[in-house]
Amino acid sequence: MGSTSDLRNGLVIKYNGELHVIIKWEHRTPGNLRAFYQVKMKNLKNGKTIENRFRSGEEIDIIRMETREFQYLYHDGSGYVFMDNNNYDQVSIP
């Protein structure tokens, strides 16, 4: 968990049960109203871009993402098997 003050471009958050990457964010303080964050984000599952406002200090789910190089090995009856190029571990994906 984190708060809206942790927002940065490229950060992945869980919003409405789905993963989104932050494309653009702005901290706005309009006149005599409370401050908020205007966030433009892209859904990682379907690619749709949405905009949303978060209250300043609101709790958000920050997701730690990691990218690694894998090599496709073969397809067995239960899924696809890939090998991690760094440590040669094999991973099966259904």
pLDDT tens digits along 44-79: 999 999 999 999 999 999 999 888 899 999 999 889
How far is CA 93 from its chain centroid?
A: 20
pLDDT at 77: 87
Contacts of 47 (CB under 8 A, 6+ apart): none
pLDDT tops 90 at residue 36: yes
Coil/strand/helix, residue 27: strand
User: What was the pLDDT predicted at 1?
Assistant: 85
Class of domain 2-63: mainly beta
Contact 62, 45 (CB under 8 A): no
Q: What DSSP state is assigned to residue 33? A: S
Q: How buried is residue 12: exposed, middle or buried, by Cβ count under 10 Å (0-12/13-18/19+)?
A: middle
Burial category of 72 from C-beta neighbours within 10 Å (exposed 0-12, middle 13-18, buried 19 and up): exposed
Q: Where are the domains of the chain?
A: 2-63, 68-94
- Tell whether pTM > 0.85: no
Comparing CA positions, the residue from 36, 35, 41, 50 lying closest to residue 9 is 41
